[in-house]
């Protein structure tokens, strides 16, 4: 059973109440507690040693990543983070200086986004470190963005560059909080998600179970320098419709951009008639951050990749826990 199959199995059992505007299945929960100035966002995420980081990573970078993952999810809802709780599980032989350095990195990021670290929990966890962070945020009424609003003929956009995150970006990325909020304030964004599991996987989350599909333009996908450098000399075999690598332990750059994950960029859709205006406005407001229009939403199911050889089904997926 994969992560998403397990989630689908558990969601029907979760108790809820009328304050929950959006619950399990999106980047954050949205709560209406009667505040006149907005809705609350609630998010929790965890990183585990050996899965999301190793001891060889700088401890301050581990702390940065632990909080930044939650902030990235708040960004995908077009919200503003405000408070955090931090739970850390440690083996008996933990190094206090290493743990303090984790909190240095976490607190540095919290200061930058004015997120109050309001408490948390410490607990014993044999053999490895884990860190679970819960974040509270706010979003203006009528301005939150869900994963589920994509419409046929929407243009698909992604910020930044994709692939090769294990070269360092996954520990150092900057959550796109200001960018997500700006998008919702100035445009009718139909759907949005942060790219954590890979473009090929997270795009499918935007499509959900509805009868929608997507066509990606291979030449428009923004491939990072790290992905290009790592994949020099590797070719793509598209004969069976599956992107595949021809060197042990390596991927073609395009496949890396589609599947590596942990990019933490914003993937969103908007009406096609707004695409040019959005691009022009973005370049004025965020001149140092790339924004790419990479495809369109289709009215029939399936994910397809268009390149100079034609249009073919994209079988590749992103990262899935338990798979």
What total number of domains does the chain contain? Answer: 2
Q: Answer yes or no: is pLDDT of 43 > 80.
A: yes
- DSSP 8-state symbol, 212: -
Q: Answer yes or no: is pLDDT of 242 > 60.
A: no
Report residue 248 CA to chain centroid gap. 27
pLDDT band at residue 243, thresholds of 50, 70 and 90?
very low
> In this structure, is residue 225 part of a structural domain?
yes
| Sign, Cα dihedral of 277, 280, 284, 285 | positive
pLDDT band at residue 3, thresholds of 50, 70 and 90?
confident
| Token representation of residue 257 | 């951009």
Q: Which residues contact 13 (CB under 8 A, 6 or more apart)?
A: none
Tell whether 166 and 118 lie within a shared domain: no
Closest listed residue to residue 128, CA positions, set 88, 91, 86, 87? 91
pLDDT band at residue 199, thresholds of 50, 70 and 90?
very high
Closest listed residue to residue 74, CA positions, set 106, 113, 16? 113
Q: Answer yes or no: is pLDDT of 39 > 80.
A: yes
Tell whether 93 and 58 lie within a shared domain: yes
pLDDT in tens, 99-112: 999 999 999 999 99
> In this structure, is residue 245 part of a structural domain?
yes
| Token representation of residue 129 | 């470190």
Average pLDDT over residues 239-244: 42
Paired strand residues for 48? 130
Tell whether 176 and 123 lie within a shared domain: no
Query: What CATH number is associated with residue 112?
Result: 3.30.1330.10
Closest listed residue to residue 160, CA positions, set 182, 181, 175, 150? 175
Average pLDDT over residues 293-297: 98
Tell whether 171 and 122 lie within a shared domain: no
Tell whether 17 and 86 lie within a shared domain: yes
Tell whether 111 and 218 lie within a shared domain: no
> In this structure, is residue 277 part of a structural domain?
yes
What per-residue confidence (pLDDT) applies to 36?
85
Q: Answer yes or no: is pLDDT of 28 > 60.
A: yes
Q: Answer yes or no: is pLDDT of 209 > 80.
A: no
> In this structure, is residue 147 part of a structural domain?
no
The DSSP bridge pattern shows strands 20-22 and 213-217 to be unpaired
pLDDT band at residue 246, thresholds of 50, 70 and 90?
very low
**Could you tell me how many helices (H) and strands (E) the chain has, helices first?**
9, 13
> In this structure, is residue 171 part of a structural domain?
yes
Tell whether 222 and 280 lie within a shared domain: yes
Min mean pLDDT across 29-33, 167-171, 187-191, 249-253 is at: 249-253
Tell whether 159 and 87 lie within a shared domain: no
What per-residue confidence (pLDDT) applies to 212?
96
Q: Answer yes or no: is pLDDT of 244 > 50.
A: no
Average pLDDT over residues 309-322: 86
Which of 110, 139, 168 marks a domain boundary?
139
What per-residue confidence (pLDDT) applies to 233?
55
Closest listed residue to residue 18, CA positions, set 34, 35, 38, 36? 34
> In this structure, is residue 116 part of a structural domain?
yes
Which of 139, 172, 197 marks a domain boundary?
139
> In this structure, is residue 217 part of a structural domain?
yes
pLDDT in tens, 131-183: 999 999 999 999 999 999 999 999 999 999 999 999 999 999 999 999 999 99
Which of 139, 163, 189 marks a domain boundary?
139
Tell whether 166 and 277 lie within a shared domain: yes
> In this structure, is residue 58 part of a structural domain?
yes
Tell whether 135 and 78 lie within a shared domain: yes
Min mean pLDDT across 4-8, 46-50, 106-110, 140-144 is at: 4-8
Average pLDDT over residues 201-222: 94
Tell whether 109 and 220 lie within a shared domain: no
Q: Which residues contact 219 (CB under 8 A, 6 or more apart)?
A: 307, 308
Min mean pLDDT across 53-67, 75-89, 204-218 is at: 204-218
* 284 or 209, higher pLDDT: 284
Query: What CATH number is associated with residue 235?
Result: 3.90.650.10
Residue numbers of the domain that contains 19: 3-139
What per-residue confidence (pLDDT) applies to 319?
77
pLDDT band at residue 234, thresholds of 50, 70 and 90?
low
Q: Answer yes or no: is pLDDT of 59 > 50.
A: yes
> How much of the chain exceeds pLDDT 70, in percent?
93
Tell whether 130 and 201 lie within a shared domain: no
Q: How many CB atoms lie under 10 A from the CB of residue 321?
A: 11
Closest listed residue to residue 119, CA positions, set 129, 130, 132, 128? 132
């Amino acid at each position: 059973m994969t992560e998403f199959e397990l989630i689908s199995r558990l969601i029907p059992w979760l108790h809820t109440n009328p304050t929950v505007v959006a619950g399990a299945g999106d980047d954050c929960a949205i709560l209406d507690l009667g505040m006149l100035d907005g809705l609350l966002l609630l998010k929790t995420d965890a990183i585990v040693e050996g899965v999301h980081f190793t001891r060889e990573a700088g401890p301050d970078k581990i702390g940065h990543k632990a909080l930044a993952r939650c902030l990235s999810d708040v960004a995908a809802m077009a919200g503003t983070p405000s408070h955090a709780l931090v739970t850390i599980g440690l083996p008996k032989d933990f190094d206090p200086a290493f743990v303090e350095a984790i909190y240095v990195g976490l607190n540095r990021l919290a200061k930058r986004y004015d997120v109050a670290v309001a408490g948390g929990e410490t607990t014993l966890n044999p053999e490895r470190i884990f860190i679970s962070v819960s974040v509270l945020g706010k979003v203006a009424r009528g301005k939150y963005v869900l994963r589920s609003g994509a419409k046929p003929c929407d243009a698909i956009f992604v910020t930044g560059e994709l692939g090769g995150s294990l070269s360092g970006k996954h520990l150092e990325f900057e959550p796109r909080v200001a960018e997500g909020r700006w998008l919702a304030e100035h445009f009718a964004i139909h759907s949005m998600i942060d790219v954590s599991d890979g473009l090929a996987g997270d795009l499918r989350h935007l499509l959900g179970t509805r009868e929608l599909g997507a066509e990606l333009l291979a030449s428009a996908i923004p491939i990072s320098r790290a992905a290009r450098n790592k994949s020099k000399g590797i070719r793509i075999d598209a004969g069976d419709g599956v992107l595949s690598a021809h060197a042990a332990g390596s991927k073609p750059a395009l496949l890396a951009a589609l599947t590596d994950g942990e990019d933490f960029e914003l993937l969103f859709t908007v009406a096609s008639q707004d695409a040019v205006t959005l691009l022009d406005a973005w370049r004025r407001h965020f001149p140092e951050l790339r924004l790419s229009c990479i495809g369109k939403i289709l009215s029939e199911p399936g994910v397809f990749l268009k390149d100079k050889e034609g249009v073919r089904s994209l079988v590749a997926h992103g990262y899935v826990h338990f798979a």
